[in-house]
């Protein structure tokens, strides 16, 4: 029974992935001169997942948590951190599925290997963000928002190359 459910889920995800891919590809022609199709798909799915993250964060922070602390026994989280922690697994999953079934659907690497690699890239990005912000804000005394923009530029490049060459690598025949 578990194998049937797994196969059914994979079929559904593949079907939805193909539909999303078709929609994204429809808007690609004007960008053909400037970027590859894979980079375009990566940009569209990445920005879509980012906006999804912002919307979920807003809803969670304002309506689910109502800007209140989250008390979990001996641990208390501020509302903005609790919202981030609650939203992270959802947008991590949606981001992974978009990359697996839309951007890098030709990869033959097993899904369980891909998700572990994807998580390692996400964790590396968190570390790059932390270290980059520490350097730019605390040591070079730049403003936080422009610092975040600079660090994001580097994490996007790192993430794309890591996903392409490591997480969802496609073997050349």
pLDDT tens figures, 19-49: 999 999 999 999 999 999 999 999 999 999 9
Instruction: Report the pLDDT value the prediction gives residue 167, as an integer from 0 to 100.
Output: 95
Cα angle, residue 64 at apex, residues 115 and 59 outer, rounded to 5°? 70
Domain boundary among 79, 105, 131: 105
Cα 89 to chain centroid, rounded: 10
Q: How confident is the model at residue 9 (pLDDT cuts 50, 70, 90)?
A: very high
Domain boundary among 77, 105, 133: 105
Task: Tell whether 3 and 31 lie within a shared domain.
Answer: yes
- Which structural domain range is residue 52 located in? 1-105
HEC string for 18-83: HHHHHHHHHCCHHHCCCCCHHHHHHHHHHHHHHHHHHHHHHHHHHHHCCCCCEEECCEEECHHHHH
Task: Tell whether 4 and 83 lie within a shared domain.
Answer: yes
Task: Tell whether 98 and 141 lie within a shared domain.
Answer: no
Taking residues 65-70, report their average pLDDT: 89
Taking residues 87-102, report their average pLDDT: 96
Provide, rounded to the nearest whole percent, the portion of the chain with pLDDT above 90.
Answer: 75
Summarised one tens digit per residue, pLDDT across range 50-64 is 999 989 999 998 999
Instruction: Report the pLDDT value the prediction gives residue 139, as an integer from 0 to 100.
Output: 92
Task: Tell whether 101 and 111 lie within a shared domain.
Answer: no
Taking residues 166-170, report their average pLDDT: 93
Instruction: Measure the N-to-C terminal CA separation of the chain; round to a whole number of Å.
Output: 36
Phi, psi of 143 (to 5 degrees): -70, 145
Q: Average per-residue pLDDT in the chain?
A: 93
Q: pTM score, two decimals?
A: 0.88
**Among 137, 111, 122, CA closest to 13:** 111
Task: Tell whether 47 and 115 lie within a shared domain.
Answer: no
Task: Tell whether 12 and 93 lie within a shared domain.
Answer: yes
Q: How confident is the model at residue 89 (pLDDT cuts 50, 70, 90)?
A: very high
């Amino acid at each position: 029974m578990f194998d049937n459910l797994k196969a059914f889920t994979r079929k559904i995800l593949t079907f939805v992935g193909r539909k999303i891919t078709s929609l994204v590809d429809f808007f690609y022609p004007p960008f053909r001169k400037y970027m590859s199709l894979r980079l375009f798909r990566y940009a569209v799915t990445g920005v879509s997942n980012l906006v999804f993250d912002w919307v979920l964060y807003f809803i969670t922070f304002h309506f689910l948590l109502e800007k209140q602390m989250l008390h979990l026994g001996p641990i208390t989280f501020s509302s903005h951190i609790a919202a981030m922690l609650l939203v992270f697994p959802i947008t991590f999953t949606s981001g992974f599925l978009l990359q697996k079934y839309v951007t890098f659907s030709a990869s033959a690497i097993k899904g369980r290997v891909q998700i572990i690699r994807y998580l390692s890239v996400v964790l590396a990005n968190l570390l790059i963000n932390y270290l980059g912000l520490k350097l730019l804000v605390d040591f070079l005394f730049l403003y936080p928002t422009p610092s975040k923009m600079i660090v994001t530029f580097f994490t996007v490049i790192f993430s794309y190359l890591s996903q392409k060459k490591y997480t969802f690598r496609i073997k050349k025949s």
